Amino acid sequence: MNPPNQSRRAFLKTSVAMSGVFPFTTGLVQAETNEASRPLIAYVGTFSSPLRDMLATQVDLPPGNGRGIHLFQINRETGAMTPAGIHAMGTSPSCLAVNASGTHLYSTNETDRVGKENHGTVSSFSINKQDGKLKSLNTVSSGGAGPTYVSIHPSGRFLLIANYFGGSVSVLPILQDGRLGNTTDLKYDAGKIGPTTATNAPKGSFAISGHDRTHAHMIQSDPTGRFVLHVDLGLDKIYIWKFNDKTGKLTANDPPAISLPPGDGPRHFHFHPNGCWFYSIQEEGSTIVLFDYDSKVGKLTSRQTISTLPAEFEGSNFCSEILVSADGKFVYAGNRLHDSIGIFSVGSEGKLTFIGEEWTRGNYPRSFSFDPTGQFLYCCNQRADSIAVFQINKKTGKLKFTNHYAAVGNPSHIVFLDLAKADR
């Protein structure tokens, strides 16, 4: 029977039209389902060179139990890690960076040696859109020995590299196909080396790591992309550069650097989400320093220094990673030898208050990272050959061990890619 007030011909036209809509709608739903089912991938950089090839002067390099870049699929509900392959490399790809569109990954190869200067190298990889597997594109000189840190400039057109043993930082262009070009700029640190006893070291500390020469340890752009900052552990300085995102050139800011207490050894830093507060962690002093950051002129002004350790601690400790939560409410600081993650709340003016610590479930936590949702923290326990997974209480900032480990030889750094959201 035809609907009221509708001719048979009109009814047939409507039926034909609707028959075309439903398959199309079903296709959309299926496509969305397929997107959501794409895996969350973790890439783990490792120390993967034989002992005889390691640079003997670095005190914390292990025998190289890793096999290159290890891939894992992440359970979005529990945080558990399932091995998903290895991109074999024997050059210690110890620091990794994934570009914003999720199409390419870059690694610093810390123990690679090329040319008469024995420079390290940096490698580029394309990422398979379906399973996250890596395909090597090219490898170029990092411009110095022992490249230990890589970050991507906000423009997406340049890599920033810190060469630990070279005491230098370099800029590499990212070509249109994701490959790397030759260095557009190279800067060498110079100045008076700090003392081997840190100003703020814990009582009884023998934590001496990098005050033998210049050691560029981290480099990263500020949120605006107009300035690039890097730390030199041996010089106890944070350098500030003006950056030309057309030419890839660095120009010294005025002032060009700011000093930390002698011997404390700045290692890593992290900007607060508001872009106005800057937190630096000192490897040998076991401290966090809060700076106000003026993004208009690239100026740092220190305002607070706080220990990464509980008040009663005595002995040696080497700090490692520092991260600010995405909501800006908490700061997490890595302690090696004490083997803990210090947890701090962020006050209304950016000042930190120590609220607790969590045992890392393994020794020598070199770094840690949040998953893309901020629900979990993944800690790379370098000398324990494992990664421990912690759930984050977003209200209190506290960490709870999930009972999930992943076996990885000498893990150094972990980064994530959500293939459901990656650019296709």
Q: What is the pLDDT of residues 234-268, one digit of tens each?
A: 999 999 999 999 999 999 999 999 999 999 999 99
24: pLDDT confidence band, cut at 50, 70 and 90? Answer: very low
Please tell me the distance from the alpha carbon of residue 32 to that of residue 310, in angstroms, as a whole number. 48
**212 exposure class (CB count in 10 Å sphere: 0-12, 13-18, 19+):** exposed
Helix (H, G, I), strand (E, B) or coil at 22: helix
User: Cβ distance 280 to 266 under 8 Å?
Assistant: yes
CATH number belonging to the domain at 40-418, selected among 2.60.40.650, 3.30.70.20, 3.60.15.10, 2.130.10.10: 2.130.10.10
Q: How far is CA 178 from its chain centroid?
A: 19
Helix (H, G, I), strand (E, B) or coil at 17: helix
Please tell me the distance from the alpha carbon of residue 177 to that of residue 342, in angstroms, as a whole number. 41
94-118 pLDDT, tens digit per residue, is 999 999 999 999 999 999 999 988 9
**230: closest CA among 192, 258, 263?**
258
Please tell me the distance from the alpha carbon of residue 216 to that of residue 320, in angstroms, as a whole number. 14
pLDDT at 18: 42
162-182 pLDDT, tens digit per residue, is 999 999 999 999 999 999 999
In the predicted model, is pLDDT for residue 365 greater than 50? yes
pLDDT at 38: 83
Q: How far is CA 340 from its chain centroid?
A: 18
* CA angle in degrees (0–180, nearest 5) for 319-325-330: 75
User: Cβ distance 319 to 341 under 8 Å?
Assistant: no
In the predicted model, is pLDDT for residue 5 greater than 70? no
Please, what's the largest Cα pairwise distance for the chain?
95
> What is the pTM assigned to this prediction?
0.90
304-335 pLDDT, tens digit per residue, is 999 999 999 999 999 999 999 999 999 999 99
Q: What mean pLDDT value characterizes the chain?
A: 91
Between 29 and 188, residue with greater pLDDT: 188
CA distances in angstroms from 416 to 234, 254, 404, listed in the order given: 31, 36, 17
pLDDT at 364: 97
